[in-house]
Amino acid sequence: MTTKYLYIMGSASGAGKTTLCEGLLAQLLLDGYQPEQLAYIKPMTQCTDKQAVTIFCESKHIAHRSITSLVFKKGFSKNFIDGLSKNSSLLLEDILAEITQISTGKDIVIVDGVGGPSTGSVIGVSNVDIALSLNAPVLFVGKPGIGAAIDDTVLALSFMQQQGIKNIALVYNKIPAAKLISIKYYVSKRLAELLPNIPVLDFIIDYRQLDSEAKLQSARMLSQWLHSHIFR
């Protein structure tokens, strides 16, 4: 059995990556996967507070690890630059070992990135570095809005593609309900010109404004794309 990975990256912290991970895991269960076939891991983090996705995984008996050996504590970057921590190769080796451990016997592992695609570059271990090591496709979670959202997407994808990431799809999250139609129209139209080979999968209303069925409908759409293009 070959484990399939999906790496969730976002424009920055707070883009809604972790909420999306929870929705995808819930949908995979509805698709017929058993909890023991799935896993969730956040290989790097800045936050050690217990997240909703961790509570969800605990309740559904899904293997999970929200805090690994790489936590960006205050002063960590300075220590690395001063040579007071492990070097980049060893840090990446530790992360991949933890991912490998939780992936044993799993069909699908959802990998939850921290910050933006380049987060971790200061220590030589970015989200992109980990995704490349796993040969994982990337689902990029863009910010709400039009101009800034498009600019940010182009910048982030330029970095990812330059580093060697080829399989990328886009989702836009936390969109105010009143602005959904306008944002969807203009962002879709412009990205079709700027990034014609990158699929835009969904525009998701701010989850705080959605009921349970609407959340599942969005996750269902993403799941269908994953099964068609990634998990086939």
Distances (CA, A) of 59 to 74, 109, 137, 210: 32, 17, 27, 22
Distance from C-alpha of 195 to C-alpha of 228, rounded to nearest angstrom? 21
Cβ(221)–Cβ(202) below 8 Å: yes
Euclidean distance between CA atoms 33 and 135, whole angstroms:
22
Query: What is the percent of the chain where pLDDT is above 90?
Result: 59
Say if residue 95's pLDDT is above 90: yes
Residue 155 confidence (pLDDT) = 95
User: By the 8 A CB rule, do 125 and 23 touch?
Assistant: no
Tokens of 173: 């999250």
At the second CATH level, the architecture of 4-229 is 3-Layer(aba) Sandwich (3.40)
The mean pLDDT of 155-178, rounded to a whole number, is 92
- Give the pLDDT confidence score for residue 201 in this predicted structure: 84
Residue 49, pLDDT above cutoff 80: no
Q: Which two tokens stand for residue 106?
A: 């799993």
Per-domain residue ranges for the chain?
4-229
For residue 229, the model assigns a pLDDT of 54
Which tokens go with 114?
Answer: 């921290």
Tens digit of each residue's pLDDT (9 = 90 or more) over 138-150: 999 998 999 999 9
